[in-house]
Amino acid sequence: MAALLYFRQFLLLHVRRVLLAACLALLLILSPCLGGQVLLPACSNPSLEAIVGLARPAAAPPISSHSALEEHFHRIWELIADNTMYPERLATWNSWEHKFDGRLSGEDDTEKAIKEMIESLHDDYTYFKNLAQTKAREQELGERNVVTWRMEPDNIGYINIRTFASRHTSDETKAALQMLASADAYVLDLRGNKGGCVDEAHQICAMFLDKGKFTSMRGRLYNEPYYEELSIGQTRLRVITNGIASERRREANLTGRKPVMVLVNNNTRSASEMLAGSLRDNKRARILGSKTFGKGVVQNTWILDNGTSIKIAIANYYLPGGKCINGSGIIPDYMYVVPGQGDQQLSEAVRLLTEAKKH
């Protein structure tokens, strides 16, 4: 009987491990966020339980002991040392490792010390998020109604994408394009879109493009050179990471060869610039508006044991034509900044597209 009981326990444990492995595979396939983008647990060799543990309870235990506070600080020190895209800025980094040993009395003290350390990097795109800020970001992933659409005069389809931070952005864009299938041309409005998940922008690009390059990234990850290239094949999305290729499902081109105009402004950032630049470099769209923000870096987020997180700039990204727009932004094909009432940029885009239909 004891042997039978042991066998049943062993069998149950084996089944649980198989189920966990299946969950992990599904998570990695369906995850909407890359590099900026999958939320990674902060462990050097994450176990299966640690990765699946992203779906943990909302309430994380507070850090209480001095040793735990110092360990938390050190883990962030280590992650930045191993992953920042600016290793040349680490000349004095060792001096921070034990700077606050014995001096951290609570989470507020620790957060202040972490931020002081990060400020020494002079990197606006590497920052710490406390528990509340991390929870808020996780809630953004589930946000809905981030895409709006309508038919403009002269049968011009209009789509506004507010953010790429939601895992629903590409699905909502697909639904909008399906509703606007009868349009003769499209306006894609990315004004005020501060970016978000690269994977969402990659998938949306495929809805406007038969095939082509999307972006490439060069930087540093886990103390090793990091290179990644994202492209769109005729039947699959393709990712090559340090020479290793993988593929995933792509959406069909829902716009054919109909004319596309992308609207941008000085608050169009990151993944939005990536999408606008890729569509133009692939000769699939023109851009109208003002110069974009110029965020040409990719960030990765690590979730820590207590529910806080660290976001680190790990790479520059490059448009298909080879340009990195960090600090410079994208110059539109049609510079159009006219103050006044009404949406004159949209009106101008509709006018240009109507003219294009006649030729």
Q: Which of 130, 117, 123, 36 is nearest to 74 (CA)?
A: 117
Q: Residues 6 or more apart from 120 whose CB is under 8 A from it? A: 92, 96
Quick check: 16 pLDDT over 90? Answer: no
Q: Which residue is catalytic, options 174, 213, 295, 311?
A: 295
295 is catalytic: yes
Fold of 143-301+312-357: 2-enoyl-CoA Hydratase; Chain A, domain 1 (3.90.226)
Fold of 58-139: Transcription Regulator spoIIAA (3.30.750)
Question: Alpha helix (H) ranges present in 32-158?
Answer: 48-52, 66-83, 107-119, 131-141
Considering only residues 101 and 52, tell me which one the structure prediction assigns the higher pLDDT: 101
Tell me what percent of the residues of the chain surpass a pLDDT of 90: 78
Q: What phi, psi does 163 have (nearest 5°)?
A: -160, 155
Q: Which residue is catalytic, options 281, 290, 305, 309?
A: 281
**What is the pLDDT confidence band of residue 31, given thresholds at 50, 70 and 90?**
very low
Q: Which residue is catalytic, options 170, 216, 231, 270?
A: 270
Pinpoint the residues of the chain covered by CATH 3.90.226.10: 143-301+312-357
pLDDT digits (tens, 9 = 90+) for 74-94: 999 999 999 999 999 999 999
**What is the pLDDT confidence band of residue 102, given thresholds at 50, 70 and 90?**
very high
82 is catalytic: no
Q: Residues 6 or more apart from 33 whose CB is under 8 A from it? A: 39, 141, 167, 196, 197, 198, 199, 200
358 is catalytic: no
Q: Determine how β-strand 286-289 pairs with β-strand 260-264.
A: parallel
- Residue tagged 């528990």 (tokens): 131
Pinpoint the residues of the chain covered by CATH 3.30.750: 58-139
Specify the pLDDT at position 87.
97
**What is the pLDDT confidence band of residue 338, given thresholds at 50, 70 and 90?**
confident
